[in-house]
A and B are shown apart, each in its own frame.
Chain A
Amino acid sequence: MSTSAIIMMIIAILIVWGGLITAILRLRSHPQPEEDLPPGAHRAE
C-alpha cells in the first residue's frame, strides 16, 4: 500500500470509529431518567 493510502485509512478509522466511541461515552455520561423505564422493566445492576 502507498503511504498516502495507509494514512487515509488510518484517518478514516480514527475519525469514524473515534466518533462512535466519543458519542457512546457522551451518551453514557447522560443517564436515562428513572421515570423513563416502562412498566415491568428494571435497570441493569
Chain B
Amino acid sequence: MTVQPREQWATRAGFLLAAIGSAVGLGNIWRFPAIAYDNGGGAFLLPYLIALLTAGIPLLIMEYIIGRKYRLSPPAALRRMARPAEAIGWWQVAISFVIATYYAVIIAWAVRYVGFSVGQQWGDDPEAFLFGDFLRAPDTPGFLDGFVPGVFWPLVVVWVVVLGVLAFGIRRGIERANKVFIPLLFVLFAALVIRALTLDGAATGLDALFTPDWSELGNGSVWVAAYGQIFFSLSIGFGIMVTYASYLGRRADLTGSAMVAGFANSSFEILAGIGVFATLGYLATASGVGVDEVVGAGIGLAFVAFPAVISEMPFGGFFGILFFSSLVIAGLSSLISIVQVVVSAVQDRTGMRRRTAVLGVGGLVALVSLVLFPTESGIYLLDASDHFINQYGIALAALVGLIVIVWVLRQLPSLQANADATSAVRLGHWWRICLGVITPVVLGWMMVDSLRTEFQENYEGYSTGFLLSAGWSVAIGALLVGVILSFMPWPAGGEDIDLDMESPADRKER
C-alpha cells in the first residue's frame, strides 16, 4: 500500500498568514465595532482582553496542539485520542459544511456591491435596494421560491475561486493565496481607515466608540459579549485550527504562533472599529443625527449603512470599492479554511486524493450553497441558519469538546507536554485553569443565556415553523450527521488500517 507523506506548510509565515486569514473574517469588520459600542465602549477593552487571554488564545493553543500532535483533521485526530470522540470531530465538520454554504453567499453579495459602488446603484434608499431590487426578498420567508440570478452568478465565481485554491493544496494553494490576500487586505483596509479618519465627524464616531462606560463592567451580559466576540471571531471550535495545524512540521512552534494569530486578529478588529466608527460618525454628522441612530452590525451595517455613507461622501465610489473588496478578501480567506476542514476530514478518513476530494466534497458544499441561497427567501434561510449554527453548533460543540478532552479524557497534561517540547512560550498552570475551568464555565453560561432568550421570544420574530425547519433542524442535524458519520466504516485513518495513516510516532517525512 502506498504511503504518502502529509503535505506541509512551506514556511512558518505561510502557516501564520493562513491562520490569520482564517480568523480575520466578516465578523471582525461588521460585528466587533457594534459589540464594543453596545457594551461599554472603551471599557469593553478590559473584558475583551481578559477573554482573549483566558479563552481565545488558550483554546487556539489547544487546537494547534491537537492538529500538530496527531497530524490529522478533527475526526481522525479525535479518534486517535479516544474512539468515541470521533463524533465530535464529525460534528465540527458538519458545522463547517453548513457555515460554508451561506458564508460564500455573503461574499457573493460583496462582490456585487464592489460593482454597485461605481455610480452608487442603490440610489437614495440602500435598504429597499438590498432587500427589494437585489435580493428580491418576500415579506415573509418561504422555501426554494424564486431564483435570483444576481446572486447566483457571483456565487458561482466565489466557489470556482475557493475550490480552485483548495485544489492546488496547502502550499501551492492555501499558503500562496493567503500570502497575497492578507497583505492586500491590510493595504486596502488601511487606505479605507485613513480616508475615514479624514471625514468630517470622524472624531464624533471615535468618541462614541471609545468613551468608556465603566459601570457596564458590573453587567454580566457585557462579559458574555466579550467572550462571545473573542470566541466567534477567532475561528475556534469548529475544527479549522486543528486542520491547519495538522499540516505543521513535527517540531513547529505552537504557543508563540497562537499568540501572534490571536493578537493579529484583535489588531485587525481594533483597526476595523476605528474605520467603521469614523465612517458612522461622518454619516451621523451629515444626517444631523446622533451616532446611536446610525450604529448597526452585520448585513445592515455593510449593505445598508455603508452604501448610505458612500452616496454621501465625495469620491464615494472609490471608498465603496475599498470597503467591499476588503469584505470579499477577508471572507474568501476564511471560507477557504472552512471548506478545507470538510475536504481534509474526508481525505483523512477515506484516503481520497486531494483533487478528488475537493471536486467531490467541496463540489457538494458548493452545490448545496448554489441551490438553497440564490433564492428569494435565501436571506431568511441564511439569517436563521447562521444564528442557530453559531449558538447551538459552534459554541455547543466547543463546550462538549472541551469537557470531553479536559475532564473525561484528561488530555491536557499530555497536550501541554507536547507543546512545551517545541514552543517559544511554555505553558503553565494558567493554561490548564483557563481551559479546565474558565472557558467551560463561560461557554456554559453563554449557552444558558442564549437558550433563555430563544424560548422567551422567537428569533427575529420568525414563525416557529420556520425556525424549526431553517434553524433548529440545521443545528440538531449537524450533531446527528456527526454522530452517524462516526459510526461509518471508513477505509482509512483507523488504528486498524494503514493508508497514509500510520501512527503519528511512526510517520516519517520524506
| Min CB gap A4→B, angstroms | 6
A17-B270, A37-B249, A39-B509 given; A27·B210 CB < 8 A: no
From B8, B49, B251, A33 is in contact (CB under 8 Å) with B251
A11-B45, A38-B10, A38-B249 given; A20·B267 CB < 8 A: yes
CB contacts (< 8 Å) of A13 on chain B: these are 270
B10 touches A32 (CB 8 A): no
- Complex alpha-carbon distance, A41 and B11, angstroms: 8
Name the interface residues of A6-38: CB closer than 8 Å to any CB of B.
Answer: 6-9, 11-13, 15-17, 19-20, 23-24, 26-27, 29-30, 32-33, 35-38
B253 at the interface (CB under 8 A from A): yes
B263 at the interface (CB under 8 A from A): yes
Stretch of B125-133, B228-236, B254-262 on the interface side? B254-262
- Complex alpha-carbon distance, A26 and B425, angstroms: 8
Task: Pick the most buried of B212, B250, B269: most chain A CB atoms within 10 A of its CB.
Answer: B212
A12-B270, A13-B270, A38-B249 given; A23·B42 CB < 8 A: no
B452 at the interface (CB under 8 A from A): no
- Complex alpha-carbon distance, A32 and B8, angstroms: 14
A26 touches B424 (CB 8 A): yes
| Min CB gap A33→B, angstroms | 4
B260 touches A5 (CB 8 A): no
From B7, B43, B171, B257, A27 is in contact (CB under 8 Å) with B257
A8 touches B45 (CB 8 A): yes
Instruction: Report the interface size class on chain A.
Output: 20 to 34
CB contacts (< 8 Å) of A41 on chain B: these are 10-11
Closest to B422 in A: A33
Name the interface residues of B222-280: CB closer than 8 Å to any CB of A.
Answer: 249-253, 256-257, 259-260, 262-264, 266-267, 269-270, 274
Closest to A42 in B: B10
| Min CB gap B41→A, angstroms | 7
- Complex alpha-carbon distance, A27 and B260, angstroms: 8
| Min CB gap A23→B, angstroms | 4
B206 touches A32 (CB 8 A): no
- Complex alpha-carbon distance, A11 and B41, angstroms: 13
- Complex alpha-carbon distance, A30 and B252, angstroms: 10
From B7, B210, B259, A12 is in contact (CB under 8 Å) with B210
- Complex alpha-carbon distance, A12 and B273, angstroms: 11
From B423, B425, B509, A38 is in contact (CB under 8 Å) with B509
Closest to B204 in A: A1
| Min CB gap B252→A, angstroms | 6
CB contacts (< 8 Å) of A44 on chain B: these are 11
- Complex alpha-carbon distance, A6 and B259, angstroms: 27
CB contacts (< 8 Å) of B210 on chain A: these are 1, 4-6, 8-9, 12
| Min CB gap B66→A, angstroms | 18
From A1, A15, A23, A39, B260 is in contact (CB under 8 Å) with A23
**Interface bits B495-510 vs A (CB < 8 Å: 1, else 0):** 0000000000000011
B42 touches A5 (CB 8 A): yes
- Complex alpha-carbon distance, A12 and B7, angstroms: 39
B251 touches A35 (CB 8 A): yes
CB contacts (< 8 Å) of A32 on chain B: these are 12, 249, 251-253
B190 at the interface (CB under 8 A from A): no
| Min CB gap B170→A, angstroms | 10
B458 at the interface (CB under 8 A from A): no
B264 touches A20 (CB 8 A): yes
CB contacts (< 8 Å) of B424 on chain A: these are 26-27, 29-30
B480 at the interface (CB under 8 A from A): no
B253 touches A27 (CB 8 A): yes
CB contacts (< 8 Å) of B269 on chain A: these are 16
B463 at the interface (CB under 8 A from A): no
- Complex alpha-carbon distance, A41 and B170, angstroms: 13
CB contacts (< 8 Å) of A1 on chain B: these are 203, 206-207, 210
B260 touches A20 (CB 8 A): yes
- Complex alpha-carbon distance, A9 and B33, angstroms: 13
Closest to A41 in B: B10
Closest to B205 in A: A1
B198 at the interface (CB under 8 A from A): no
- Complex alpha-carbon distance, A2 and B43, angstroms: 14
CB contacts (< 8 Å) of B266 on chain A: these are 16, 19-20
CB contacts (< 8 Å) of A37 on chain B: these are 249
Closest to B9 in A: A38
Closest to A37 in B: B249
10 shortest A-B CB distances, which residue pairs? A8-B42, A36-B249, A30-B424, A27-B256, A23-B259, A20-B263, A38-B8, A5-B210, A19-B263, A33-B251
A–B pairs, 14, beta carbons within 8 Å: A5-B42, A5-B207, A5-B212, A8-B211, A9-B42, A12-B210, A16-B263, A16-B267, A19-B259, A26-B424, A27-B260, A36-B249, A38-B10, A39-B510
List B residues at the A interface (Cβ < 8 Å). Answer: 5, 7-12, 41-43, 45, 49, 171, 203, 206-207, 209-212, 249-253, 256-257, 259-260, 262-264, 266-267, 269-270, 274, 422-425, 509-510
